[in-house]
Structure 1
């Protein structure tokens, strides 16, 4: 199962928990949840992760556990690692070492950094931005939740790897050398350019703001000019598209800008900058288009506008978790 499918199941599991913890939840709804959970081990695992997050509401979860309605391995076809009641009520001592390792390597809903991100030479946390200089010559602006690992320089070439997040690179003043950003399954190289690289799981995007940037994946290569962007994955390079660099780099001025973007993409972007997690439970709502500009230090305005414009129900949970739909 891919990362997108897994994330979709996690959202479905959270939607089920919203319904099942309601005071008016019926026996039929509990039975429907049991049927949903039993569809596959992936469904059962998604429910486990959702219940761990839902541990922010101990009384509701405790009541369901006592009733036996949500036993972790009660409705799966094949045995799954059992996580006991104390584990998803916040008792860290009850969690197994294997489960702890899994949560570090693959954080649920990306609520904390992965192991590779924590081992980076430079890293920013949620909502943080940082300016660094690579090899005393290349200014790099790091966006939120960004991790960079330095790589040994080559003759005439400075290198670093973008593990996750987004970096804006100013290579306009380089003399007699180039800079290469390794990200995902490819790289971006420039000698006199201003560009940004963003790594989102399996997808990496490179945007040229000024100058020219050479983007390479395996045996494929493309040269970007100002105002152009390309996205690549393991399968190779996508098509070169025209973009507005002002929108792409708005974060450097303290803003997020959207122009006719689906709400689900807006929510995904906002989640990079704020603690906790906004979870969109209604897929239909997620297709609504948004044109807006939000200040990075006032991102709770997003929930206000979603409620006012789309009429969506907004439910705030502890830990910065917000359910919309």
Structure 2
């Protein structure tokens, strides 16, 4: 709900407030108050949009510095930025640096849609879309994704049909927020996490708070599998298998809502599969052995040509344009087929 008079406040004022909230959220001694933050965020639709861009810009600059690419380019890391209280000019400089050095562009979030009118939300290939739900929670849909929403007085349930989504959940101790995907479920009450259902695999990534992950389709031979995730942990599993132990997240992999694909020592086959999800045409590897090469860096989501050209230059490969625009990476002496 927008408070009376909220619309008269300037975007610059909101940016300063958003910077202060971002600083508190990322500083263990910053005195972050989730309830007060939820109240501020819900007071004006612009608050959530500006804060999301503020958080994305800070995360990109800080997290890219942790990779070999970021270190070689001299990007500021979180330790350097934390002392600045995240003033808007620091974030703006970081975003400009990212665009100039790495070719990253930020995809603007769509304006929130009226809550409660559409129980089903979807995104197109190459589109990243943000939705505000009836309870004030936000869902950011990745490319080619679809969710179904069902709220009642006692529970909040969202089904991820395909793709990936980030959930920024409004705290409500009386109504747990549950996301289901292919027989698995993730339950939270107020936190930020990603759920992906891609290539028959479920992946849950927790950015803040704690969630319970259940796999209800483990088969008759295994009991119900339950795992508690903590912040900065992720797990990936098949619906028919028991849950594995959580693993630390790859920081760059969490930056997709800002339109950036980040890889840090990632096998080329995995990076190509991820880049292809944002395009209507495909990039292929002529030799499966090329898939073992390790890729690091940041690339614009949807710019498949730019990604392919960068990979070709890095590994001295040939990039061939095939029929209907399909791209093929080949090594020297490998025929294009």
Q: Same fold (TM over 0.5)?
A: yes
| Partner residue in 1 for 2:143 | 144
TM-score by length of 1: 0.59
Compare 232-241 and 205-214 and name the one that shifted more: 232-241
| Partner residue in 1 for 2:198 | 200
Aligned counterparts of 1:144 and 1:241: Cα–Cα separation in 2: 25
Aligned counterparts of 2:321 and 2:123: Cα–Cα separation in 1: 26
Structure 2 residues not aligned, in runs of 5+: 1-118, 217-223, 331-337
SS in 1 for 2:269: helix
Q: Deviations over 1:126-169 (max 9, x none)?
A: 1101111233432100011111123x435531111111111000
- By how many angstroms is 1:175 displaced? 5.0
Residue number among 162, 178, 181 corresponding to 2:179 in the alignment? 181
SS in 2 for 1:137: coil
Aligned counterparts of 2:124 and 2:323: Cα–Cα separation in 1: 20
Structure 1 residues not aligned, in runs of 5+: 1-119
Matches within 5 A, 1:60-71: none
| Partner residue in 1 for 2:228 | 223
Aligned counterparts of 2:161 and 2:325: Cα–Cα separation in 1: 25
- By how many angstroms is 1:229 displaced? 0.7
* Mapped pair 1:133 → 2:136: no
Query: Number of residues paired by the alignment?
Result: 204
| Partner residue in 2 for 1:43 | none
| Partner residue in 1 for 2:156 | 158
* Mapped pair 1:290 → 2:295: yes
Matches within 5 A, 1:45-124: 121-124=120-123
Aligned counterparts of 2:185 and 2:133: Cα–Cα separation in 1: 16
| Partner residue in 1 for 2:188 | 190
Aligned counterparts of 1:212 and 1:194: Cα–Cα separation in 2: 9
| Partner residue in 2 for 1:235 | 241
- By how many angstroms is 1:124 displaced? 1.0
Aligned counterparts of 2:302 and 2:214: Cα–Cα separation in 1: 36
Asked whether the 8 Å contact 1:231–1:239 carries over to 2, the reply is: no
CA RMSD for the aligned pairs?
Answer: 1.8
| Partner residue in 2 for 1:5 | none
Aligned counterparts of 1:229 and 1:320: Cα–Cα separation in 2: 35
Larger radius of gyration between Structure 1 and Structure 2 = 1
Q: Would the alpha carbon gap of residues 220 and 174 (structure 1) be closer, same or farther in structure 2, given more than 3 Å must change? A: same
Aligned counterparts of 1:131 and 1:307: Cα–Cα separation in 2: 33
TM-score by length of 2: 0.57
Q: Would the alpha carbon gap of residues 160 and 274 (structure 1) be closer, same or farther in structure 2, given more than 3 Å must change? A: same
Matches within 5 A, 1:25-64: none
- By how many angstroms is 1:272 displaced? 0.8
Aligned counterparts of 2:298 and 2:234: Cα–Cα separation in 1: 21
Answer 1 or 2: higher relative contact order, Cα 8 Å, separation at least 6: 2
Aligned counterparts of 1:320 and 1:249: Cα–Cα separation in 2: 29
SS in 1 for 2:196: strand
| Partner residue in 2 for 1:56 | none
Residue number among 270, 277, 281 corresponding to 2:275 in the alignment? 270
SS in 2 for 1:301: helix
Asked whether the 8 Å contact 2:286–2:329 carries over to 1, the reply is: yes
Q: Would the alpha carbon gap of residues 214 and 181 (structure 1) be closer, same or farther in structure 2, given more than 3 Å must change? A: same
Aligned counterparts of 1:174 and 1:298: Cα–Cα separation in 2: 39
SS in 2 for 1:306: helix
